[in-house]
Amino acid sequence: MSGVAIVTGGTRGIGKAISARLKGDGYTVAAIYGGNDEAAKACADELGIAVYRCDVSDPEGCAETVSRIEAEHGPVAVLVNNAGITRDGMFHKMSADQWRAVLSTNLDSAFNMTRPVIDGMRERGFGRIVSISSINGQKGQLGQVNYSAAKAGLIGFTRALAMETARKGITVNAIAPGYVETDMTSQMKPEVLQSIVAGIPVGRMGKPEEIAHAVSYLVSEHAGFVTGAVLTANGGQYVAA
Ligand code: NDP
C-alpha cells in the first residue's frame, strides 16, 4: 500500500514500531511526538521518516500539523491514534489535572487528529483509522480511573465513527493491547510488573512489534470488511466479549 500514514506518538515505544512497520509496508510515514526532541530525531534518523512536534491535546495545533503534513507529503490515507500517557493514582486522591491530562491526551486527541483528516478521506472514498486503546479500557484497572475512562472512550469513538464512515470506504478500528514492553511500562514497579506477568497466560509481556503487525493488517487493503472492531492483543490476560 502507499500513501501518507500519520502515527501519533510515533517516535517511541509501540508508536515507533508502528511507524517502522508502516514504512516497511510502503507508506510515507509522518510521526507526531509531544516533546522529546532527542528521541524523535533518533527515530527519524533510524527509520528515515518525517517527525512533527505537536501536542495532540491541542485541537488547533493538530489541525495545523495535519495541514503541514498534507502540504509536504500529500493526502492522508492512514491515521493511527497512538499517543498516550498515564497519570496514575487512586481516584479518591486524583486531581482534576491528572484527570484532564489523561483524558485530553488519550481521548480528545482522537477527535483533534481525526477531525482534520476525515473530510479528505470522505472525498477520496478511502481511509484507515486505528486507535490504540488498552486492556484497561475494556476491564478497568484500579489506580487508572482516568486512563480506563479514556481508553474505553476510544472504543465508543471507534464503533460510532465506523458506522458513520462505512459507506465512504473508511474503516475505523481499535486495538486493545495488554502489557507491552515500552518506556510506559518500564516506569512501573518491578514487583507490580512481575505479578501482572504471572497473570498473563502466554507468560510474558507483549512486544511493540506485535501491536505494529496488527495495525499493519487493519490498515491493509485486505481488511476492508473489518470496521468497528476492537482487536485484543493481550496474551490471553483478559478475554473480552
Ligand atoms: P510511550 O510512553 O513509550 O510513548 C508515548 C509516545 O506518545 C511518545 O512518542 C510521546 O512523545 C507521545 N506523546 C505523549 N504525549 C503526547 C502529546 N501530548 N502529544 C503528542 N505526542 C505525545 O508509550 P507506549 O508506546 O507504551 O504506548 C503507546 C500507546 O499504547 C498509548 O496510547 C498507550 O496508552 C497504549 N498502550 C500501551 C500499553 C503498554 O503496555 N505499553 C498497553 C496498552 C495500551 P514524546 O516522546 O515526545 O514524549
Domain boundaries, the chain: 4-231
- Categorize the per-residue pLDDT at 27 as very low, low, confident or very high, splitting at 50, 70 and 90: very high
pLDDT above 90 covers a percentage of the chain that reads: 95
Among protein residues, the one with the nearest Cα to ligand 1's atom 46 is: 36
User: Does residue 160 come out as left (phi exceeding 0), alpha (psi in the -120 to 50 range) or beta?
Assistant: alpha
Q: Could you read off the pLDDT of 155-168 as tens digits, one per residue?
A: 999 999 999 999 99
Mutational pocket test of ligand 1: of 47, 62, 85, 155, the residue with most ligand atoms within 8 Å of the beta carbon: 85
Give pLDDT, residue 241: 65
Whether ligand 1 lies within 6 angstroms of the CB of 141 is answered as no
4-231 carries CATH number 3.40.50.720: yes
Atom of ligand 1 nearest to the CA of 14: 25
231, β-bridge pairs: 175
**Which residues make Cβ contacts (< 8 Å) with residue 140, sequence separation at least 6?**
148
Mean pLDDT of the chain, nearest integer: 97
pLDDT value, residue 2: 81
Q: Is the CB of 78 under 6 A from ligand 1?
A: no
Cβ 57 vs Cβ 112: under 8 Å: yes
First to last CA, the chain: 32
**Rounded CA gap, 83 and 65, in Å?**
15
Give the ligand 1 atom nearest the CA of 104.
18
Q: Is residue 104 within 6 Å of ligand 1 at its C-beta?
A: no
Quick one: 9 exposed, middle or buried, by C-beta within 10 A (0-12, 13-18, 19+)? buried
3-class SS of residue 16: helix
Average pLDDT for residues 34-39, to the nearest whole number? 98
Taking the centre of ligand 1 as the mean of its atom positions, its distance from the CA of residue 86, in whole angstroms, is 9
Q: How is residue 158 annotated by DSSP?
A: H
Only one residue has cell 510515533, namely 10
Is 70 exceeded by the pLDDT of residue 216?
Answer: yes
CB distance 11 to ligand 1 below 6 Å? yes
CA–centroid distance, residue 84 to ligand 1 (Å): 4
Catalytic residue among 147, 179, 217, 238: 147
pLDDT band at 68, cuts 50/70/90? very high
For residue range 112-156, what is the model confidence (pLDDT) as tens digits?
Answer: 999 999 999 999 999 999 999 999 999 999 999 999 999 999 999
Ligand 1 pocket residue status of 136, Cβ below 6 Å = no
pLDDT in tens, 71-87: 999 999 999 999 999 99
* 147 has catalytic annotation: yes
Residue listed under C-alpha cell 477531525: 115
